[in-house]
Amino acid sequence: MLNRRDVIRRGGAVAIGVAGLGAAGYLPAKAQRPDASEESRAGRPYRESYRGRTIQIHETEYGPDVRVDGDPLHLMQLGANAYVSSTCHYEVLESPLQAARAAVDELQGARLLDIGNGMNFHRM
């Protein structure tokens, strides 16, 4: 689990790396991987394998239903194109897919545990 010091270090390293890539002209205009938003909004579930984990997204009348290896990932939508998950609540991401990928990165192989009320924790 990250503490504030880890978040600040991680954020600083990312900022320095992004600044270096931008100065070198290597920063892509758009992400290379597809976004699941159009696919899931059309009513078709989106499924992908990311770092050996299965991410599934299905749009419901209440918002996106996101699952990692079949376990539900709690998301909050903060506004248009702004999501946070229960595992990565310091990062605001642009889509449910990006939030699910960030959760997989944070889990580092652990599984999500449902603690009720739609919230998750992970088990090491």
CATH for 32-123 is 3.30.1880.10
- Contact in structure between 81 and 27 (CB atoms under 8 Å): no
Structure pTM? 0.61
Q: Rounded to 5 degrees, what are φ and ψ at 63?
A: 125, -170
Confidence at 56, pLDDT banded by 50, 70, 90: very high
Domain spans of the chain, in order of start: 1-30, 32-123
Question: Any idea which of 5-19, 63-77, 88-102 has the lowest mean pLDDT?
Answer: 5-19
Give the Cα separation of 62 and 123 in Å (integer): 27
Overall average pLDDT of the 51-65 stretch:
92
Higher pLDDT, 19 or 92: 92
Asked if the model's pLDDT at residue 85 lies above 80, the reply is: yes
Overall average pLDDT of the 5-25 stretch:
54
